[in-house]
Amino acid sequence: MLTITHRYRIYPDIAQEQKLIEWMEVCRGAYNYALREIKDWCDSRKCLVDRCSLEKEYILSPELKFPGEIQQLNNLPKAKKEFPKLSEVPSQVLQQAVKQLHRGWEYFQE
């Protein structure tokens, strides 16, 4: 099977370049927030509850499910209401940042 791809070079002006940089910063923040949710969930399940140190371990409710891709994508509209800066970035861009996180997480698990 032959896959053909095209690459396009863009030449943004200064204002467009600044806007793209702002979008990347917002996406970085969303990516890091989603990653923190995953890491907190994993850290809360590292040790048995009766052997964890309250100062060093982050304990979450045992009923809390793993923050999966679909759950985090569904939380983006709520997050936009809470953090207006997220509304400046197109929703597909934020969704792609979360999807890339979960693709990387899957590779990490392998």
Q: What is the pLDDT of residue 3?
A: 86
The Cα 55–Cα 99 span in angstroms is: 33
Q: What is the pLDDT of residue 14?
A: 97
Q: Could you report the average pLDDT of every consecutive run of 10 residues in the chain (110 residues)?
A: 89 96 95 92 71 62 82 93 93 94 91
Q: How far is CA 38 from CA 11, 16, 43, 89, 101, in A?
A: 37, 33, 9, 23, 10
Q: What is the pLDDT of residue 35?
A: 94
Q: What pTM did the predictor assign? A: 0.80
Number of separate domains in the chain: 1
Give a yes or no: residue 21 inside a domain.
Answer: yes
Q: What is the pLDDT of residue 43?
A: 78
Give a yes or no: residue 11 inside a domain.
Answer: no
Q: What angle do CA 34, 29, 62 make, to 5 degrees?
A: 25
Long-range Cβ contact pairs of 28-33 (< 8 A, separation 24 or more): 28/97, 29/85, 30/76, 30/79, 30/86, 30/94, 30/97, 30/98, 31/97, 31/98, 31/100, 31/101
Amino acid, res. 52: C
Q: What is the pLDDT of residue 59?
A: 65
Give a yes or no: residue 35 inside a domain.
Answer: yes
Give a yes or no: residue 2 inside a domain.
Answer: no
Altogether, the residues listed in the chain come to a count of 110
Q: What is the pLDDT of residue 91?
A: 93
Domain interval for residue 57: 16-109
Give a yes or no: residue 41 inside a domain.
Answer: yes
Q: What is the pLDDT of residue 21?
A: 96
